[in-house]
Amino acid sequence: MDLQTKALHTGYEKDSQGTMAVPIYMTTAYEFRDVEHAANLFALKELGNIYTRLNNPTTDVFEKRFAELEGGEAAIATSSGMSAIFFAIANSAEAGDNIVCAKQLYGGSLTQTAHTLKRFGIQARFFDVQNPSEIEALVDNKTKVIFFESLTNPSIDVADIEAITKIANKHNILTVVDNTVATPAICRPFEFGADISVHSASKYTTGQGLAIGGILVERKGLLEKLKGNPRYPQFNEPDASYHGLVYVDVPLPAFTLRTRLSLLRDIGAVSSPFNSWLFIQGMETLSLRMREHSNNALKLAEYLESHPKVNKVNYPGLKSNSNYTNAQKYFENGASSGLLSFEVDSLEDATKIVNATELYSLVVNIGDSKSIITHPASTTHQQLTPDELDACGVPVGLIRISCGLESINDLIADIKQALEA
């Protein structure tokens, strides 16, 4: 079944009302048939709805549908993309462990990995996503995750997924890929050896910036990597918080099962049923929108590349771009999403250009149907030092654009007048 067909049909079996649209099950709890039924659900002897902090019929459709698009086995919907990243790492690492992360990450992800997780006793070590060979020197017997973005934000680098996963598999380490910018419509990391993908569903998944949410997806067959792996005793030893359950012994996807029972249950960062429903609506047109986002971004990048005030354009769809080869390898038909960035001489020039645009909205979001312009060094990456900004590919003269679905002629005309104002 093709991706577009899956996006419309997977995960929904019509209820007694026969509704074509997935219903919104706006409820916190569910009635049990009797005491035995309730006990069986809590003991995992039966599967079903208990409480919306654990599962919900609307969210269940979102999870199943997204997992199918990504080519995964199971998924967990979360309250945000940041909570999806936190769950992926917290499910793999504990105090005293470390994770290896790409330097080129979204600003919030850098803060979470370098600072917030440090307070939980998890150390982050960083490598250049353009040089995966650096990973080897950072790995030791306490390394639990290698984390990177398939298409980085805002440096717009394309990770060599196979090279990274090859190193991870050599050491039996889990790989976590943030696939938000590329989306499953363009890139499916599991086809290249990745273990876990995470997404901010607030971006291209919803498509209009309507709701905050995230999702974590587990690849098919991950159990084989977890079972008996000494790096991950939490999956192989009895869980005292769930009456001695051993996750690898349960005939369910182990990574998402433990995320649901050990983290979602206790932390509660879940997607609301209404937000899940909004994401379902967005998924129905995701592949169609991503083609248009990519087409607009390529044409805009080509224009910017020709402009004398632009020093550099970061967009992997350009044949001149250093990431072009990886984009052709990892992205469907070479389509490179709607996100691009470009560099001008100075902070003053960047500020003047951003302020002079009229059609673009100055917003710290991406993936909207309406085009967005941002100055990352003063917003999403403001908390970084000058050295850290350079290391993650965010110089002060960098401007990021999320190309929407407007006429490309209008988008080019507005950026032209802003550059020449």
**What is the DSSP-derived secondary structure letter of residue 92?**
T
- Using pLDDT thresholds of 50, 70 and 90, give the confidence band for residue 378: confident
Structure confidence at residue 387 (pLDDT): 78
Q: Is the pLDDT of residue 45 over 80?
A: yes
Query: Which of 42-56, 76-90, 213-227, 307-321 shows the lowest mean pLDDT across its residues?
Result: 42-56
Spacing of C-alpha 131 from chain mean position: 21
CATH number of domain containing 363: 3.90.1150.10
Are 260 and 337 contained in the same domain?
A: no
Are 101 and 190 contained in the same domain?
A: yes
Give the span between the Cα atoms of 364 and 353, in whole angstroms. 16
Are 107 and 239 contained in the same domain?
A: yes
Give the span between the Cα atoms of 415 and 409, in whole angstroms. 10
For β-strands 123-127 and 143-149, DSSP reports them as unpaired
Q: Is the pLDDT of residue 158 over 80?
A: yes
Are 163 and 28 contained in the same domain?
A: yes
First-residue to last-residue Cα distance in the chain:
50
Structure confidence at residue 397 (pLDDT): 93
Phi, psi of 353 (to 5 degrees): -65, -50
Are 234 and 304 contained in the same domain?
A: no
User: Last residue of some domain: 265, 281, 297?
Assistant: 281
Question: Are 120 and 307 a contacting pair, CB within 8 Å?
Answer: no
Are 294 and 223 contained in the same domain?
A: no
Q: Which helix (H) or strand (E) holds 197?
A: strand 196-200
Are 276 and 356 contained in the same domain?
A: no
Residue 8 half-sphere exposure toward CB, CA atoms < 13 A: 9
Are 120 and 206 contained in the same domain?
A: yes
Structure confidence at residue 394 (pLDDT): 84
The tens digit of pLDDT for each residue in 101-129 reads 999 999 899 999 999 999 999 999 999 99
Give the span between the Cα atoms of 107 and 120, in whole angstroms. 19
Residue 126 half-sphere exposure toward CB, CA atoms < 13 A: 15
Q: Is the pLDDT of residue 390 over 80?
A: no
Mean pLDDT of 4-17: 88
Please provide the average confidence, as pLDDT, over all residues in the chain.
96
Are 94 and 114 contained in the same domain?
A: yes
Structure confidence at residue 392 (pLDDT): 74
CATH number of domain containing 271: 3.40.640.10
User: Last residue of some domain: 249, 264, 281?
Assistant: 281
Are 252 and 379 contained in the same domain?
A: no
Domain span holding position 25: 3-281
User: Last residue of some domain: 281, 313, 348?
Assistant: 281
Are 223 and 102 contained in the same domain?
A: yes
CB within 8 A of 157, min separation 6: which ones?
104, 129, 130, 151, 314, 316, 323, 393
Give the span between the Cα atoms of 291 and 30, in whole angstroms. 41
- Using pLDDT thresholds of 50, 70 and 90, give the confidence band for residue 391: confident
Q: Of 131, 143, 190, 199, whose CA–CA distance to 168 is shortest?
A: 143
Could you tell me the pTM of the whole model? 0.95
The tens digit of pLDDT for each residue in 161-197 reads 999 999 999 999 999 999 999 999 999 999 999 999 9
Give the span between the Cα atoms of 127 and 104, in whole angstroms. 9
Q: Of 19, 23, 4, whose CA–CA distance to 65 is shortest?
A: 4
Long-range contacts of 315-318 (CB under 8 A, 24+ apart): 315/156, 315/340, 315/341, 316/151, 316/156, 316/157, 316/158
The total number of structural domains that make up the chain? 2
The tens digit of pLDDT for each residue in 236-291 reads 999 999 989 999 999 999 999 999 999 999 999 999 999 999 999 999 999 999 99
Q: Of 157, 190, 168, whose CA–CA distance to 325 is shortest?
A: 157
Are 308 and 264 contained in the same domain?
A: no
